[in-house]
Amino acid sequence: MSDLTKLTIAQARDAMRKGDTTSAEITSACLTAIEGADALGAFVHHTPEIATAQASAADTRIKAGDAPDMCGIPLGIKDLFCTKGVPSQAASRILEGFKPEYESTITSQLFDAGAVMLGKLNMDEFAMGSSNETSVYGNAVNPWRRAGEETQLTPGGSSGGSASAVAADLCLAATGTDTGGSIRQPAAFTGITGLKPTYGRVSRWGIVAFASSLDQAGPMTKDVRDAAIMLTAMSGHDPRDSTSADIAVPDFEAALTGDIRGKTIGIPKEYRMEGMPAEIEKLWEDGTAMLKDAGAKIVDITLPHTKYALPAYYVIAPAEASSNLARYDGVRFGHRAKLAHGDGITEMYEKTRAEGFGPEVQRRVMVGTYVLSAGFYDAYYNRARRVRALIKQDFDKVFADGVDAILTPATPSAAFGLGELTNADPIQMYLNDVFTVTVNLAGLPGIAVPTGQDAQGLPLGLQLIGRPWEEGDLLNVAYSLEQSAGFVAKPAKWW
């Protein structure tokens, strides 16, 4: 078989089961593709020995019959996941040299199902960023370019390496994490599918924590079917994560009938932002028409507190981050600063954290510290948590009125150039998450699906938001949208 790296999970699974190819062959093709793709900056730690051993074990299982769906599938793993004995440093200098003595629940589940790890993927430091430019490893680069240009574009963030690797066919799929849009925005920027599950659907154990009440891992894949297959393998209750839900995990792939007749799709008027590019507006209208043609009922809805989602997020996420990142103190793991004669423990903490954290992480930790400090806790942190409750109520009302899913743009623009927003005010960068962040605040499942291209040929995506715990239904609507949109474009290889 040719072009093994271009296979979807479903195609690879079926081909391996039929004996048309093996995991060893697909894995080796991916490793070769990765070797030639340094210019993308996607893979930051390579694990070919682990991959080869896992692939061989997977082939034995497949031959014996009865192998799980993910068996033999080569994946990239975001650097935020702790992988035993393999560097896991959240793209931060402060975790340089850290090799966990344990395996995250999600990677354990994937490896138990026979999946293969090709290596660790680039990301924004501690998942804080929307362009993969805050990484200690340097930028990840989007395999897509504007027609006739060589400008390096961002793959989005924070799961930028995951998005770049999947879009460039370096791996069949990748893990991502999403605190404010970090799976969906990069998926939209690179023309792939990215799903953030309902909060509590997948375990957070062993994933470096950013904002614990918002963080959720999910699949980044070449299509909706693969997202369903991979989500099934990642999901489930974990006694080691007290917020993981003890509810049954359905076979999400079985939900993909493509029949959405009678479903009600809400179009929220608040997502029609002032100054929204005409291309995004048109993409949204086209997507709405596709769902309508497929038999869904389209209704206008209102989510009145949408405007306040980003400011609430930029209180809650930094507050939780300042608490979570307090553990990086130079004592138990990672970097410790060289101390001057006479330096005590306070100097050790302060120097270690100043050297170990990049500017964006420092900024967010300090903003979080400020909003939690005495005298400001009520004015900022508690107020933001109240607004968060109102944002969730907006969604509760809409779902109670019979809406099955909500369609919105995934991002306010196509991928932008690396460096274009670096010197801008940080809030310009934060605005990238304007359409995705509400979903994290309300704990809902959301998926980005590529449905079109802009005038310069760059991919554009739409977002579907579902009811809590109903990822199956959500994936089915996404599947219908995918079928109608027929997005098949691929980036031309330049790397």
For another protein, the closer of residues 61 and 392 by Cβ is: 392
Q: Which of residues 314-343 bind another protein (CB under 8 A)?
A: 314-315, 322, 326, 329-336, 339, 343
78 classed as catalytic: yes
According to the binding rule CB under 8 A, does residue 243 interact with another protein?
Answer: yes
Q: How many residues bind another protein (CB under 8 A)?
A: 74
Q: Which of residues 84-113 bind another protein (CB under 8 A)?
A: 97-102
Binding-site member from 67, 115, 367, 448 for another protein (CB under 8 A): 367
Q: Three-state DSSP class for 197?
A: coil
For another protein, the closer of residues 99 and 297 by Cβ is: 99
Q: Mark residues 271-310: x for contact with another protein by CB under 8 A, - for none.
A: ----------------------------------x-xx-x
Find the part of the chain contacting another protein (CB under 8 A) among 52-60, 122-130, 272-280, 363-371.
363-371
For residue 370, the one-letter residue type is: Y
Helix (H) or strand (E) holding 120: strand 116-121
Find the part of the chain contacting another protein (CB under 8 A) among 7-15, 203-211, 368-376, 401-409.
368-376
Question: Using omega within 30 degrees of 0 as the cis cutoff, is the peptide bond preceding 158 cis?
Answer: yes
Find the part of the chain contacting another protein (CB under 8 A) among 27-35, 175-183, 283-291, 346-354.
346-354
DSSP E strand boundaries for 143-302: 173-178, 193-196, 216-221, 264-268, 297-301
Sign of CA dihedral 223, 226, 230, 236: positive
For another protein, the closer of residues 111 and 314 by Cβ is: 314
Please compute Rg for the chain using Cα positions. 21
Min CB(343)–another protein separation in Å: 6
Closest Cα partner for 407 from 461, 488, 486?
Answer: 461
Helix (H) or strand (E) holding 372: helix 359-372
Min CB(440)–another protein separation in Å: 9
Min CB(426)–another protein separation in Å: 7
For another protein, the closer of residues 445 and 461 by Cβ is: 445
Out of 23, 88, 130, 182, the active site residue is 182
108 classed as catalytic: no
For another protein, the closer of residues 86 and 485 by Cβ is: 86
For another protein, the closer of residues 76 and 468 by Cβ is: 468
Out of 23, 78, 131, 480, the active site residue is 78
CB 10 within 8 A of CB 16: no
What residues have CB less than 8 Å from 164, skipping those under 6 apart? 40, 41, 42, 122, 140, 141, 142, 143, 155, 170, 190
DSSP E strand boundaries for 238-334: 264-268, 297-301
Helix (H) or strand (E) holding 446: strand 446-453
CB 43 within 8 A of CB 67: no
Binding-site member from 292, 350, 422, 494 for another protein (CB under 8 A): 350
For another protein, the closer of residues 58 and 136 by Cβ is: 136
Q: Three-state DSSP class for 114?
A: coil
Q: Which two tokens stand for residue 236?
A: 């489930």
Q: Mark residues 179-208: x for contact with another protein by CB under 8 A, - for none.
A: --------------------xx--------
Binding-site member from 383, 420, 484, 489 for another protein (CB under 8 A): 383
CB 486 within 8 A of CB 469: no
263 classed as catalytic: no
Find the part of the chain contacting another protein (CB under 8 A) among 12-20, 168-176, 284-292, 359-367.
359-367
| Dihedral angle, C-alpha 195, 435, 423, 210, nearest 10 ° | -50
Min CB(212)–another protein separation in Å: 10
Min CB(161)–another protein separation in Å: 23
The whole-angstrom separation of Cα 173 and Cα 115 is: 10
Q: Sheet containing 193-196: which strands, arranged edge to edge?
A: 43-46, 116-121, 74-78, 173-178, 216-221, 193-196, 446-453, 459-466, 405-409, 264-268, 297-301
Q: Which two tokens stand for residue 286?
A: 């086209």
Binding-site member from 93, 146, 297, 351 for another protein (CB under 8 A): 351
Binding-site member from 65, 148, 242, 248 for another protein (CB under 8 A): 242
Binding-site member from 113, 153, 301, 442 for another protein (CB under 8 A): 442
CB 204 within 8 A of CB 241: yes
For another protein, the closer of residues 174 and 365 by Cβ is: 365
Find the part of the chain contacting another protein (CB under 8 A) among 104-112, 166-174, 437-445, 454-462.
437-445
Could you tell me which residues are beta bridge partners of residue 401?
none
The whole-angstrom separation of Cα 30 and Cα 25 is: 9
Could you tell me which residues are beta bridge partners of residue 301?
268
Could you tell me which residues are beta bridge partners of residue 264?
297
Out of 23, 88, 130, 158, the active site residue is 158
Q: Three-state DSSP class for 373?
A: coil
HSE (side-chain half, CA atoms, 13 Å) at 250: 13
Min CB(87)–another protein separation in Å: 11
For another protein, the closer of residues 63 and 240 by Cβ is: 240
Catalytic positions: 78, 158, 182
